[in-house]
Chains A and B, each alone.
Chain A
Amino acid sequence: MDSLIDLSEYLPRLGQGLVVSLQLTALSVVFGYLIGLVFALGVSSRQPWLKWPALVAVEIGRGIPALVVLYIVYFGLPALGVLFENFWAAVIGLTFTAAAYSSEMIRAGIQSVPAGQREASAALGLSRTTSFVRIVLPQGLRSSIPPLMGLAIMSFQGTSLAYSISVNELMSQAYQVSTITFQYLAVYTITGLIYAAIAVPATWLSVWVEHRMARGAV
């Protein structure tokens, strides 16, 4: 029982780590989705000079492990003379990954808007830009909401990888606490439960949102 009492002293540290994890999540999701929208528009474009760079960025972002992206930002940029604090290196890496994955979801959402919408807008005489921005895009983004919610939850879990580049988020704190207390099983179990306590209800929420959207209620 001693050991568990010891542990409770360290829970605040885990709490601090969680705060950092949530900050990483929020930043990478917000910036990532915005950039993802840009990528999505780029990939959908017919102009090759817009399409190919976007496509390459997306395929790379989706094709290489998030851990490798983090290492590249962490190790690579100093070599180029750019210095980032670990926290911001993680934000950049996680944002890039989130942008690549979200761009595919947004693109799929836009494509799923029935062709009839475009046709109707054109028939009404709306310009192509207005058609796209005011009619197609809003509907497309709406369809993307469920997968984007899922991606946000995955991004939250992905912040745990920032441990490997020494960012003091939850996983790092857990590692440090475990090496101090030697209560490996307990520490990692508690850490896992903390992640799950946020991720699992969030997943249930996103499933509920998805069902309500499918029924047309939202």
Chain B
Amino acid sequence: MGDALLIVLLGLPMTLLVTVLSFTIGVIGGIPLMLGLRSRTRWVRLTCRFAVDLIRGVPPIVWLFLLYFGVSFGAIRLDSLNAAVWGLGIISSAYLAEIYRGAFATLPSGQAEASAALGLGGTVTLTRILAPQALRTALPSIATYLLSLLKDSSIASTIGVADMVFNATMFARQNPATAGIVPFFIAAAVYLVISIPVAVTARRLDTRLRRTA
């Protein structure tokens, strides 16, 4: 049990690293995608819509395998960590772009109108008036997404990233008869221990935001 615990915990930093890096890529990458989704130019809007739907329509494991095995420019190939982080990062951009877009859509139209009527230009309206309000609305959904990304980071284990699940699988394969299941229970427990506080905070944020709305 002690061995299993140690081995699984050794994978925790990698689990967190993959999660945080791909989340960061997603948070940033989601912004241009969201702007494209809200664009007034039809072809931009449709292209972004198609891109987001396509990205979300392919399972994460396929994306990761595609990037890890399939991407090679001459001598350059993505190592497993990069493939995982960029793969999950691109997927996150698509999901977060949708979350951002949804948040903007729930803003009362009077806000954009008042800003326009005052004569505040488009950029100022977006960045100083609409975005701060949209962000507040989007925060619970973003937190929920972060949690699901934490779980999806486990898929990186399938291309060899040494996260908790990878380590657990290695241990289980080496000790099948005796304690195959133990490392997975430990990994499960760690996921729960990390995610439950975040989930509770997200739920509280959501209730508090509903009240002040």
Contacts and interface: CB of A to CB of B under 8 A. Distances in A.
A200 B54 contact: yes
B82 interface: no
A45 to B, nearest CB: 20
Interface string B65-81: 11001110000000000
Contacts, number: 123
Interface of A: 59-60, 63-68, 71-72, 75-76, 78-80, 157-158, 160-161, 163-164, 171, 174-175, 178, 184-186, 188-189, 191-193, 195-196, 199-200, 203-204
Given A60-B192, A63-B196, 20 more contacts: A59-B192, A64-B151, A68-B165, A75-B180, A76-B181, A157-B58, A157-B60, A161-B61, A171-B62, A174-B62, A184-B69, A185-B66, A185-B69, A188-B65, A192-B62, A192-B63, A192-B66, A199-B58, A200-B54, A203-B53
Nearest to B172: A75
Nearest to B195: A63
Contacts of A192: 58, 62-63, 66
B155 interface: yes
Interface of B: 53-54, 56-63, 65-66, 69-71, 151-152, 154-155, 157-158, 165, 168-169, 172, 176-181, 184-185, 187-188, 191-192, 195-196, 199
Nearest to B64: A188
Contact of B155 (A60, A67, A78, A200): A67
B54 A67 contact: no
12 contacts: A59-B196, A65-B155, A72-B185, A158-B59, A160-B61, A161-B61, A163-B61, A188-B65, A188-B66, A192-B63, A195-B62, A200-B57
A75 B154 contact: no
DSSP majority for the B interface? helix
Residue of A164, A178, A188, A203 with most chain B CB atoms under a 10 A cut-off = A188
B180 A78 contact: yes
A164 B64 CA distance: 14
B92 to A, nearest CB: 15
7 A-B pairs with least C-beta separation? A76-B181, A185-B70, A196-B57, A184-B69, A65-B151, A75-B180, A160-B59
B70 A161 contact: no
Contacts of B71: 185
Given A72-B185, A199-B57, A184 B191 contact: no
A80 B168 CA distance: 18
Nearest to B58: A192
A199 B179 CA distance: 38
Contacts of B199: 63
Contacts of A171: 59, 61-62, 65
Contacts of A71: 165, 168-169, 172, 184
Nearest to A70: B184
A175 B184 CA distance: 24
Contact of B152 (A60, A65, A204): A65
Nearest to B169: A71
Contacts of A178: 65, 69
A196 B61 contact: no
Contacts of B56: 199, 203
A65 B66 contact: no
Given A67-B157, A161-B155, A188 B62 contact: yes
Contact of A195 (B59, B184, B188, B192): B59
Nearest to A193: B58
Residue of B53, B59, B172, B199 with most chain A CB atoms under a 10 A cut-off = B59
A67 B70 CA distance: 23
B180 A79 contact: yes
Contacts of B158: 67, 163-164
Residue of B61, B169, B181, B187 with most chain A CB atoms under a 10 A cut-off = B61
Contacts of A193: 58
